[in-house]
């Protein structure tokens, strides 16, 4: 099954308009504050973690490291399960001293603007490969769906949209108290779409491909030797290193610093790991 480029553009435009609409409505106060500031919205905003890396990258990790790909989800889940002793103190510190990023946190901790500048530089270097992967994932997906060589045009358009969205709802405000409610709500809406889509794909695969849970169980029993090979990389691969890296990713995510208070993050200690498990199972 393939789509024409015009059909994909129409679907993408409708989806992007929905994201812009949610962000704009929340910025203008047209969405009730009890909804915008609800802990569930901030919890859903954590779904930005499940980007192209969590989908395409996890598949590649599963091929190379077997069950080691679960480190992508178990690491961040462990961080939120330990939130009372790990994340809450950091959140209290950022709220008390009005710190709006990891760079601000390091600059405050070491009493040096150089610490903040170096942190920003390291984060920029670290995020560039992830941005490149995101752009490549979008262009490759469009190329597969359309069966046309449209990578350059799609990549340029995607980058332009990212820049526009960042300017409008991300970096327009300079006040440290600004919570970027529009951006948070848009990400939460996107996460809800991703969870719904992944759940639908999982249910469709379970009942149309395997004919139900019993069919899946029978297939797993028939593939014991193949599934057994997935355990080997756990003994030989960098399982512990990957787990530690993804554990630390929960602290460096920028939207961690948009939460109004540690109390807001309390409900995320169980939905965030549950959402990660849902992504890994799909």
Tell me: the pLDDT tens digits for 233-279? Answer: 666 667 788 888 888 877 777 766 666 665 555 555 656 666 666 56
Minimal CA–CA distance to 166: which of 48, 43, 249, 250?
Answer: 48
Question: CA–CA separation, 272 vs 239, rounded Å?
Answer: 22
> Is 223 in a helix, a strand, or coil?
coil
Q: What's the pLDDT score for residue 189?
A: 92
Q: Phi-psi bin for 152: left (phi > 0), alpha (psi -120 to 50), beta?
A: alpha
Is the pLDDT confidence value at 121 over 80? yes
Are 75 and 247 contacting, i.e. CB atoms less than 8 angstroms apart? yes
pLDDT interval class at 177 (50, 70, 90) = very low
Tell me: the pLDDT tens digits for 33-73? Answer: 888 888 788 778 777 777 777 777 777 777 777 777 788 78
Minimal CA–CA distance to 72: which of 243, 220, 268?
Answer: 243
Question: CA–CA separation, 195 vs 187, rounded Å?
Answer: 12
Tokens of 268: 């995320």
Minimal CA–CA distance to 232: which of 69, 74, 66?
Answer: 66
Is the pLDDT confidence value at 3 over 80? no
Question: CA–CA separation, 130 vs 269, rounded Å?
Answer: 26
% the chain with pLDDT above 90: 2
pLDDT interval class at 93 (50, 70, 90) = confident
| Placement of tokens 């603007």 in the chain | 113
Q: What's the pLDDT score for residue 261?
A: 61
Q: pLDDT averaged over the chain?
A: 78
Average of pLDDT values for 115-138? 86
């Amino acid at each position: 099954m393939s789509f024409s480029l015009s059909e994909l553009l129409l679907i993408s435009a409708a989806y992007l308009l929905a994201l812009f609409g949610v962000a704009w409505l929340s910025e203008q106060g047209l969405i009730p504050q009890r909804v915008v500031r609800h802990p569930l919205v901030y919890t859903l905003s954590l779904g930005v973690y499940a980007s192209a890396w969590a989908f395409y990258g996890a598949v590649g990790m599963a091929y190379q490291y077997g069950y080691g790909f679960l480190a992508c989800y178990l690491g961040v889940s462990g961080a939120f399960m330990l939130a009372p002793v790990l994340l809450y103190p950091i959140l209290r510190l950022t709220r008390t001293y009005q710190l709006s990023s990891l760079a601000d946190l390091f600059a405050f901790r070491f009493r040096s603007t150089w610490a903040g500048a170096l942190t920003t530089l390291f984060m920029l270097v670290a995020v560039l490969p992830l941005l490149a992967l995101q752009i490549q994932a979008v262009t490759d997906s469009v190329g597969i769906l359309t069966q046309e060589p449209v990578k350059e045009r799609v990549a340029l358009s995607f980058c332009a949209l990212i820049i526009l969205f960042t300017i409008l709802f991300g970096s327009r405000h300079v006040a440290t108290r600004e919570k970027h409610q529009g951006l948070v709500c848009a990400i939460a809406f996107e996460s809800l779409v991703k969870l719904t889509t992944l759940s639908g794909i999982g249910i469709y695969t379970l009942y149309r491909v395997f004919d139900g849970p019993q069919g899946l169980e029978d297939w797993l029993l028939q593939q014991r030797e193949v599934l057994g090979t997935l355990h080997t990389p756990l003994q030989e691969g960098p399982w512990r290193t990957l787990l530690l890296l993804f554990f630390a990713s929960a602290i460096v995510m920028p939207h961690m610093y948009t939460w109004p208070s540690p109390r807001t993050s309390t409900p995320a200690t169980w939905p965030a790991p549950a959402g990660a498990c849902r992504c890994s199972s799909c």
